[in-house]
Structure 1
Amino acid sequence: MSTGATYTVQQTPSNIVDHEHLAYLLHHLGQEDVRAVVVGFGEYAKHLVNAHPNRIAAIYDPRPMLNGIKFRGVPVIDAPEHAHPVNMILAGEYGLLYDYLPKIIDIYPGGRLVVPPRMNYKPSNDINVFEQEAIYKHIKLIEHDAPTSMMQKEKINFLLELLRFGLTKPGIILEMGSWQGGSTWYMAKTLAYLGETRKLYAMDLFEDHMMDPTATMCSDEIRVRLNSAYDHFEMIQGLVDDPEKLAQLHDQPICFAHMDLGPQPVALDYIWNHLSPGAPLLLDNYGHLGAPPWAFDRYIESKGSRVIRLPWSEQGLVFKNA
Structure 2
Amino acid sequence: YREHELDPATRNEVNALIKSNYNGYHFVDPEGEALYNSTILIYFLRYFVQYREFPKRLIDLNLKVDLAWVRRLTASNPQLTAAFVEQLTFYNHIRYDEVLLVEKFDVSQFFNPSFFPISFFYLGMLTKEDDFNLRLPNLNLRQIFVEYFNELHQIDVSTRYAELMQTFVNNPNLECLFAGYWAHYISQLPEAIFQQVNENFYRTTFFELCSRYLSRWFTWNVERSYPQGKSDLEFVGKYHEKFAGLRWVIEFKYISNSKLHTEKINIERFVLPVEDSEQIEGYAQGLRQEYPEARVALFVIYCFGNQGFRVFAL
Relative to the length of structure 1, the TM-score reads 0.21
- Which protein shows a greater Rg? 1
More helix by share: 2
For CA contacts below 8 A with separation 6 or more, give which structure has more relative contact order. Answer: 2
